[in-house]
Structure 1
Amino acid sequence: MCGLVGIYHPTASRPVDRALVEAMNQRQFHRGPDDGGVFIGPGIGLGHRRLSIVDLGGGRQPMTNDGGGVVLVYNGELYNNAELVAELKAAGHVFRTASDTETVIHAWEEWGEDSVRHLRGMFAYALWDDRSQTLFLARDRLGIKPLHYTCLADGRVMFGSELKSLTGVEDIPKVVDPLAIEDFLAYGYVPDPRSIFKDILKLEAGHTLTFRRGEAPGRPHCYWDVSFTTPSRPAKTDDLCAEVIDRLDEAVRCHLVADVPVGAFLSGGVDSSAMVALMAGATDRPVETCSIAFSEARFDESAYAKTVAERYGTHHRVHTLPAQALSEVGPLTAIYDEPFADSSALPTLKVCQAARETVTVALSGDGGDELFAGYRRYRFHTAEEAVRRILPQAARGPLFGALGRVYPKLDWAPQVLRAKSTFQALGRDRVEGYFNAVSVIPDGLRRGLYSKTMRAELAGYGASEVLRRHMTRAPADHPLSIAQYVDLKTWLPGDILTKVDRASMATSLEVRVPMLDHRFVEWTAGLSPDLKLSGGTGKYLLKRALRPLLPDEVLYRRKMGFSIPLTDWLRGPWSGRTRALAGRSALVTSGLFDGAAVAKLVEQHLGGNWDHGAALYALIVLDDFLTAHVGAACLPARMSA
């Protein structure tokens, strides 16, 4: 995989500083340690770092067309490259390399801005066409690969794969966005298109952005969306099971194309096990697999991973992650560039490091839960929506709102007795109810942590607006489909794919996600909701389809998730770090938060009767970010005054 950077001036007469492009490029060295290059033209500069995967000797970038009028820096892999090459050759194009980078250039020459619709794969790229004086930025449909950009007051545009390529540029303002902090503490990540800084944005998944000299600056354009429309004549379940395997097998085979060693992550869950099973059938050599184990048995899935590994004869390696590993969380701040509070980032980094010891490419099962309704919250949301249809808001609000307020927060009790969140959700509308399900820190608790100045900066903004924007335009009518659509637009690119991209790129490992092949995504979106969530069980069709390939003990066991024992570790080996939040932490001295409220949260958690693990981890991550990156000049004016 690769990294790219660039600078564009709206006037060709303004020169680009080569040294600046090279410095931006060097900050992403880890994304491409095999090679690097820079292109400088009138008012345009492009930089690229390369991790060689296909055509190891012939894919150098920046790459130009034969005449030199088109220049490309590209981060990605095309899985329909052979098809496109054949089609473009038939149209008269001549290829000099076997690299899919060249295919993107010829596709632009043939189809222009519509060329992105012809690409099947994961990608983010910047293309400069000197003939039309056009800069074209594009990001893949699901947001597997990242792209950040900023538009400066003087008309310049700067962009890069990671935030760090931009935050090191002196001319770019780096003022923390209070709305992004609200979003982060609600979701545990900063959803697209925002970043933690006001003036730096992320190009959203499935979008392009065009700048053309002599014209007004472009706006992001959505070139792809997914519709959850169920066919009027559903196929028989057995036929659909066969089709699931056929389509997924085809996607896996496409994702195996490489000129370097390819392996797989194997957690022992349904999705990663499915990848390994299909990989084993597609190659005549043992699959390289690796897993992370935990010393705490209730978080450890390694026994299930071993079962699958033995069944398919993989070359399997297991790395155990002890509690002491939490002392290594610090580097995550540098890896993610902005606050990122998914605690599974640490084991993800560890499994990437383990995989890189033997392979350069690893396949992941990410996407299965979103496509086939594997999360428990889908079941709850669908049930809550059934109640909302029966009882109008005028009746639900007072009834369940009151129950939610008076019912105790029994964090220590069995799951069946923890009804507070359910009552709270039922008292709200669809958006606020689902927001309650996905929030890291609930509304009341989150707002109680803010200082008066922070609340003034927010000016009434609430993070639920992110979900409202997507739910309002969701091409779906079933509650489950709407929730899945929202997750594909927020949680998947903002959390899951960001986590894997940054962790893998930090170790110079390319990770591919066959379940997020857009053709497979479009097909699964058209399946009836009751084939995904049936009888309260998620992934119904996928699990049934996989029964010939995987044992029931893997398919139908209780979902564990790839996480660390956060609550206990924050009270035990990390208790000192937890207590430090209540002192002179950057969190408190920034003026963003009420110090007394933070101290109360810490004491409640350490006391053992309240579980604020997720909230405290988010605050620790934010504190680390503020300590590392933010001075008074980076805070909103009222906070730094």
Structure 2
Amino acid sequence: MCGFAGLYHLETPKPVDPARISAMCDAIAHRGPDGEGVWTAPGVGLGHRRLSIIDLAGSPQPMASRDGRAVLVFNGEIYNYRELRQELKTHGATFRTDGDSEVILAAWQRWGADCVNHLHGMFAFAIYDLEARSLFLARDRLGVKPLYYAPLSDGSVAFGSELKALLAHPLLRREIDPLAVEDYLTWGYVPDHRSILKGVCKLPAGHSLLLRHGATLPGPRQWWDVSFAERRKGKAADIEAELVHLMRQAVRSRMVADVPLGAFLSGGVDSSSVVALMAEASAQPVRTCSIGFDVAALDESAYASQVARRFGSEHSSRAVSPDDFSGIDQLAGMFDEPFADASALPTWRVCQLARESVKVALSGDGADEAFGGYRRHVFQHGEDRVRTLLPQALRGPLFGRIGALYPKADWAPRPLRAKSTLLSLAGDSAQGYARSMAFAPPEVREGIYSDEFRRLRGEYRAEDPVLALMRSAPARSGLDKAQYADLKVWLPGDILTKVDRTSMAVGLEAREPLLDHRLIEFAASLPEALRVRRGQGKWLMKKAMRRYLPDNILYRPKQGFVTPIAQWFRGPLAGAAQEIAAGATLARTGWFDTRRLAGLVDAHVAGTSDNSRLLWQLLMLERAFTRLGIG
């Protein structure tokens, strides 16, 4: 787990100043406090910051291949590197180190760009091939590790693990992309097909990029995808046994480290399952940690303690006040781009707690996306049944009209908040799911935009790429397509970005065993009834884990990290909410209707409506603009 940055000249191979590479790496020094290095050659420069996890002293980077023909900078972990090392030795490869970095170099020299298909793990890396004078960039299958790049005005391409590294280069333009603002206000993050700054790209998950001197900047090449098009057959008991085997394999492969290792434990199904399998595989007590809240309605720490006692883990827990908003500005700085998932704050706190005793922590992220664990998956499954019963010509006008008239009813019990469901049913399966994913649906966004912003945005709508993705997905059903969209958009854009930035901010490596690609491919082949059944998501996974976990852990309502932002904006952050409408940063863009924003703030503070998610989005947008020097 590390960070890297570099420059590559597409046109004339000009000299690269090592000090420029060092400055880019210094901007992401938090990702690698244990070591640093810079390597340059005509037309290329590579820099690295290292967080030592495996082969602590023997794998410094940038790393040259044994024959000196290739140089690597790498962020992540390759979990099958020992098996790959043995395979490559049979083809004549020799090794000087005991780590995974040199294995990537040997794999590149053996298989070229196809080396990525042999790597099991989380990774982003850059390899410069001195013989071909080419630069190869690659990102792991699910997008666990990030990689940004941007062409610059001097003919070079800058790249790095975070946007911070690119921002350290004086030639990077800091012009906000209004389409990214539309994306952000819709989803609460800027998805991987766009960046908040014009001209900056994110290499998509499961993609690579091959750059050559004298050639134009090519588009990324997809090297991995997941298919929901096939259905696994066989006895349910055999499928369940295969699931447990794959989960065990994934957890055990991620327990390899030369430093202290532990796990996040929320007391939910996913993290508890990971801890159970770690305890099964370990001769020593597993180290676990959790964050609790000093408000009973938000606190899950009792469930985490129950699981910790069950498996005899060395458990540490810390209570956090729901008024713990002191780190908002620091949090905004971790992400560079605007990021509105408020659970990032407690995620950061649990990373801080974990780092006090371990350097690597396993998490339960990924199971919801893979096995249909979100409430919206259950709703999608049910709504599609209604869609099959009523034709669109009838359903659209009927539910659209009722949904438009139905009150928003934020104050009502959950079963009575039917507005979203009615509007979802008015559209097709993809449109309905896009609405369920959105932080701010179209009618809310339109209400706060100015005429100038609408002109800049043109015909583009943030839902368009997601709808296109779902409609062309290798899938059979609406649930398949929903999960495919989650794996391709929501997972890398929100969940994995949140975990990467908050963990790396404190020098902690987070590993996600439930995102092992073999487990993801297995889950995608499950019949729908083994994912969602009788209103219950993750049906097969929960059934399989009953041998390890009690029912009150497996079948209690999903909660997740809850941050009380609605209360904040009616209390200690009421002043910050007022500044959103009255302040200069957003107003100076001319992109928002400030009177409308003021009305939303007043209504929320008065308690007549809950606009907290939108206000939090706008607050994080304002903070990001300020840090980027915009407005």
Normalising by structure 2, we get a TM-score of 0.98
Q: State whether residues 267 and 300 of structure 2, in contact with CA within 8 Å, keep that contact through their aligned partners in structure 1.
A: yes
Q: Partner of 1:39: helix, strand, or coil? A: strand
Give the aligned partner of residue 195 of structure 1: 195
Summarize the alignment of residues 412-451 of structure 1 with structure 2, pairs less than 5 Å apart. 412-451=411-450
SS in 2 for 1:563: coil
| Superposed counterparts of 1:84-483, under 5 Å | 84-231=84-231, 234-483=233-482
Structure 2 Cα separation of the partners of residues 248 and 229 of structure 1: 22
The 1-side partners of 2:552 and 2:540 are apart by 17
Q: Is the 8 A contact 2:66 2:95 kept in 1?
A: no
Deviation at 1:170, TM superposition (A): 1.2
Deviates more, 1:606-615 or 1:65-74: 606-615
* Cα distance change on mapping 1:379 and 1:27 into 2, 3 Å: same
Residues 434 and 467 in structure 2, CA contact (< 8 A), matched pair in contact too = no
> 2-side partners of 1:448 and 1:191: how far apart?
22
**TM-score using structure 1 length:** 0.97
Question: Distance between the aligned counterparts of 1:472 and 1:212, measured in 2?
Answer: 34
Report SS of the residue matched to 2:409: coil
Residue 27 of structure 1 is matched in structure 2 by 27
TM-fit CA distance, 1:214: 3.3
Could you say what secondary structure the match of 2:491 adopts? helix
Q: Deviations over 1:177-231 (max 9, x none)?
A: 0000010010000001211001111000000001112333221000000011333
Larger displacement relative to structure 2 (146-155 or 416-425): 146-155
Q: Deviations over 1:289-332 (max 9, x none)?
A: 11010122222110100000011111111111113311221101
Preserved CA contact (<8 Å) 2:190 2:339: yes
The SS at the match of 1:527 is coil
CA distance in structure 1 between the aligned counterparts of 2:488 and 2:512, rounded to whole angstroms: 16
CA contact (8 A) 1:174 1:199 kept: no
* Conserved 8 A contact 2:34-2:49: yes
Q: Is the 8 A contact 2:12 2:214 kept in 1?
A: no
Give the conservation status (yes or no) of the 8 Å contact 1:373–1:484.
yes
Query: Residues 335-357 of structure 1, C-alpha deviation per residue, up to 9 Å, x if partnerless?
Result: 00110000000000000000000
Distance 2:630 2:238 in 1: 60
Aligned counterparts of 1:607 and 1:46: Cα–Cα separation in 2: 54
Matched residue, 1:82: 82
Distance between the aligned counterparts of 2:380 and 2:584, measured in 1? 37
Counterpart code for 1:136: F
Aligned partners of 1:78 and 1:120 also within 8 Å: yes
CA distance in structure 2 between the partners assigned to 1:191 and 1:535 by the alignment: 32
Q: Percent identity between the aligned chains? A: 51
Paired residue for 1:637?
none
Look up the match of 1:636. Answer: none
**CA–CA distance in structure 1, aligned partners of residues 427 and 14 of structure 2:** 54
CA RMSD of aligned residues (A): 1.2
Alpha-carbon shift at residue 535 of structure 1 (Å): 0.8
- Partner of 1:48, secondary structure, is strand
Q: 1:416, CA displacement in angstroms?
A: 1.2
> 1:635 is matched with which residue?
none
Q: 1:258 to 1:136 in 2, by over 3 A?
A: same
After superposition, give the CA deviation of every residue in 1:32-65 in whole Å (9 maximum; x if it has no partner). Answer: 0000000000110000000000001111000001
Paired position in structure 2 for 1:55: 55
Counterpart code for 1:476: A
Gaps of 5+ in 2: none
Match of 1:639 in 2: none
Matches of 1:294 and 1:216, distance apart in 2: 53
1:386, CA displacement in angstroms? 2.0
Tell me, yes or no, if the aligned pair for 1:296 and 1:565 is still in contact at 8 Å.
Answer: no
Number of equivalenced pairs: 631
Paired position in structure 1 for 2:607: 608
Partner of 1:577: 576
Per-residue displacement from partner, 1:531-581 (whole Å, max 9, x unpaired)? 010011001101110011011110011111122122222212322222222
C-alpha contact 1:339 1:625 (8 A) present in aligned 2: yes
User: 5+ residue gaps in structure 1?
Assistant: 633-641
Q: Distance in 1 between matches of 2:243 and 2:298?
A: 30
Aligned-partner SS, 1:320: strand
Letter in 2 for 1:222: Q
Match of 1:65 in 2: 65
Matched, 1:17 2:17: yes
- 1:12–1:42 Cα contact (<8 Å) kept: no
Larger displacement relative to structure 2 (114-123 or 216-225)? 216-225
Structure-1 separation of matches of 2:250 and 2:611: 40
Distance 1:81 1:34 in 2: 22
Aligned counterparts of 1:526 and 1:405: Cα–Cα separation in 2: 37
